[in-house]
A and B are shown apart, each in its own frame.
Chain A
Amino acid sequence: MLKYIIKRILMLIPVLIGVSIIVFLIMRVFSPDPAPIVLGQHATQQTVEAWRQANGLNDPIYLQYFHYLKGALTGDLGTSYYTKTSVTKEIFTRFPATIELALVAIVLASLFGIIIGVISAVKKNSIFDNAGMLLALVGVSMPIFWLGILLIILFSGVLHWLPSNGRIDPLLQPIRVTGFYLVDSLVTGNMDSFKDALQHIILPASALAMYSMAIITRMTRSSMLDTLQQDYIRTARAKGIDESRVIVRHALRNGLIPIITVIGLQLGSLLGGAVLTETVFSWPGIGAYTVACILKSDFPVVQGVVLLVATIFVLMNLLVDVIYGFLDPRIKYSKKEV
């Protein structure tokens, strides 16, 4: 097992080098020149040239990549063209917000997704099944920004129950320990902040969870339907085992493999930043920030974020594969099987 994990981690290196080359080239080929954007309305031809020279953009492209790689290997992702702040710093001030939102959303999505999926499978073709599948259909097809706006208008605009934007009331900000406000406020014992942070995360997390929940529901349902047909389920029932135990212990546990895969992939993509949700709810995460930087041709930031997100994705896949082993003892990562 350990060997397998080490091998997979080593495989990260070529993947990340590949990703970094692709992003590097895409930004330079398809993005407009950053110089006029950075220098603004008064930019002249000379100042643009001077700026490009100072930022190494006149070097041959392989040399530019080499400098970037050299920096990245030592943990230096460069400086944002637009704000003149270190990219690592820009990313890490925003990343906790993305992780916090993604985790809450994935917990909501998995909890409701699995419950609805199991009920739909067990009560196949019943009213519960139809309602569950309708909800899943709505979930995958409803544009998230529209759902977000509807939630804001209803819960903030009309009912005044929940705040419409941001992570927390600026005056209730907890002392930074981890960057996760829910954790920080609990650790520092600041219940006002905890309550406020929780109120702020409900709407964006619900909007974000909707799509993942729909996918998880459908996957759970089909996986469960498949498993419930198996002979050993019939055997278990024949042995007189309680039906709920048959469903949870015998069917769900075996049916979880594809569901875990889906949850892992969903979490991976949520950690890459939820651009629309972050924009609608002014959630200070990495997604909306990256899009803004793409539009400003802020190469160092975009390269840094993509590298980070690619790493997370690969690690998520690895984690999912490792969880398989625990869920299904038949899956072993011995040398021969890999």
Chain B
Amino acid sequence: MRKVKRIMALALSATLILVSLTGCGGSKANPEGSTAPKASDTLIYAQGAEPRGLDPALVDDGESAKVMSNIYEGLLKYNQDSTKVEPSLAKSWEISPDGLSYTFHLQEGVKFHDGTDFNAEAVKFNIDRQLPPQVTEDMAYAPFVYGSVKNVEVVDAKTVKINLTSPSTPLLNNLAMIMAAPIISPKALKDNNNNVNQAPVGTGPYKFVKWEKDQNIVLDRNEEYWGTKAITKNVIFKFIKDNSARVVALNNGEADIIDGIDSTVVKQITDAGNKIFQAPGMNINYMAYNTSKKPFNDSKVRAAVSQAINVPELVKSLYQGYSEPATSILPTFMEGYDKSIAQVAYDPTAAAKTLKEAGLTSIHMITYTNPRPYNAATGQSLAEAIQGYLSKVGVTVTIDSFDWTTYKQKLKAGDYDLAFYGWIGDNGDPDNFLYLLSVDDPTMNIALYKNDQFNGLIAKGLTTPAGSDRNAIYTQLEKIAAADAAWLPISHAQTLCAYKPNVENFYFHMTGITPFAGVAKK
């Protein structure tokens, strides 16, 4: 009995100690311990998943992009509000008249975080690593970014020349990308067996400190940065998988900025006094007609079906105001976009008449069951909404839905009248969107669209130097695509972020990067 009493006394005192230690009496969740840095010096960004890695040549995901954009820099960078390119590690450049060689003049006095010099050799080392014969099959973006590159010449320590096999205007945009293009310290690559996924070393405003798997990545200000130094000292990327937990973390002060939120929690966030950032999206969510067979090998029938669908109304009800209804394939902020581009206007009466004449009464549609970055509402909901519009013009639609992987196989098989898809832009160049309608691969050109005039203009666009002449080519391409109605562009999805009112200058770039150097916490 005495023993029991002793055990109970022990348990009781242990509980008391626990309670007093954890401060269940109402103290703050994150008291500032004496060893902790000041809160205003630390910016906490909560994202929904962990990055794949931090080697720009070896990853392809958006979660990695956010972190890498603070550690690395490329020769060029994007303008804050568009996808126009600006100088970064290259202060200026010249293009040869034949468009086959690009000479870059590099910034001077730039050092990598490991203290080694940034120079032309480093640029060559990074590009060579992603060209044959060195390129490996898991460098997802190497063929895209450097596909047109023949070789790289070091002219002198501060000048580098990139030679191409054929002229390629998108190269400049490619060099501003966060995938494949950033320049990594050659020493770090050599020390880490050509894979700096866990040990990134760049020239950017923040240095990598540590990565606690499935928890966070900590970055520290680069005090030797060659440009304007970052305002906030520490940046921490936290990974909070559950959407509602991420919102609680923001409202509870455990995060300063969160991303990946949806329209349902906006009110909850603004009610707590926090702010919403609505970033334009470099993507397109579309419906495609199978142009290779009846009935949609006839552009009149395609246009009539498009005419039966009220796109703005559909987008508003499906995406609650957080997707922009698409009038063109290109997002509005891109070069080549023109206000005059328009798809066939909504007119159900005219549509019904044409479809009746064509004798079209049933359509077989395939779609995907999961949400996609360009379609948060899932392909299924989108297909059902369109089924509703078409039933009003006397067309019966059968929908077959599949998970994403099976769906891609079904697309390859080509057994459908209508299908849904989307595209996430890579480099901000108009070719990156419009070339989809010119390729043979059925998992990219799912409309199986073939038009020699269109393909000719795509080829011309690649070699025409950037400027108004080139933009006119893409506007013309858009107009051909709209007239031929191979696709029905539906929406450009926006990215929603939320942040505390004391955070200043935060922005989420349309290419999916979050540079924090200019962000302050008051």
Contact = CB atoms under 8 A, between A and B. Distances in A.
A317 interface: no
A156 B245 CA distance: 10
Interface stretch (A10-18, A38-46, A255-263, A304-312): A38-46
B252 A160 contact: yes
A51 B135 CA distance: 12
Contact of A85 (B29, B37, B197): B197
Contacts of A199: 22-23, 29
A42 B197 contact: no
A85 B218 CA distance: 19
A165 B240 contact: yes
Interface string B217-245: 01000000000000000101011111011
A281 B246 CA distance: 10
Given A39-B140, A42-B144, A172 B22 contact: no
B213 A284 contact: yes
Interface string A110-137: 0100000000000000000000000000
B53 A83 contact: yes
Contacts of A82: 52
What is the interface residue range for chain A against chain B? 35 or more
Interface stretch (A1-9, A221-229, A241-249): A241-249
Contact of B34 (A149, A173, A192, A284): A192
Contacts of B236: 170-171
A280 B245 CA distance: 7
A44 B238 CA distance: 33
Contacts of B141: 42
Question: Which of A38, A41, A97, A149: most chain B Cβ within 10 A?
Answer: A41
A73 interface: no
Nearest to A81: B138
Contacts of A85: 53, 197-198
Interface in A87-108: 90, 93-94, 97
B67 to A, nearest CB: 14
A164 B248 contact: yes
Interface in B46-96: 49, 52-53, 58, 60-61
B1 interface: yes
A50 B241 CA distance: 33
A237 interface: no
Nearest to B234: A171
B23 to A, nearest CB: 8
Contact of B22 (A83, A84, A198): A198
Contacts of A172: 33, 35-36
Contact of B37 (A111, A171, A190, A279): A171
A242 B1 contact: yes
A50 B252 contact: no
B405 A33 contact: yes
A320 interface: no
A287 to B, nearest CB: 11
B21 A164 contact: no
Contacts of A56: none
B413 interface: no
Nearest to B60: A40
Contact of A171 (B42, B60, B245): B42
Contacts of B117: none
B241 A84 contact: no
A166 B216 contact: yes
Nearest to B36: A171
Interface in A244-279: 244-245, 248, 279
B52 A83 contact: yes
Contact of A40 (B37, B140, B212, B408): B140
A29 to B, nearest CB: 14
A244 B27 CA distance: 39
Interface string A22-36: 000000000011001
A202 interface: yes
A289 B213 CA distance: 10
A323 to B, nearest CB: 19
Interface in B188-220: 195, 197-198, 212-216, 218
A169 interface: yes
B92 to A, nearest CB: 30
A284 B215 contact: yes
B254 interface: yes
Interface centre among B144, B238, B252, B406 (most CB of A within 10 A): B252
5 A-B pairs with least C-beta separation: A284-B214, A192-B33, A32-B405, A40-B60, A50-B137
Interface of A: 32-33, 36-45, 47, 50-51, 54, 82-85, 90, 93-94, 97, 111, 149, 152-153, 156-157, 159-167, 169-173, 190, 192, 194-196, 198-199, 202, 242, 244-245, 248, 279-282, 284-285, 288-289, 292
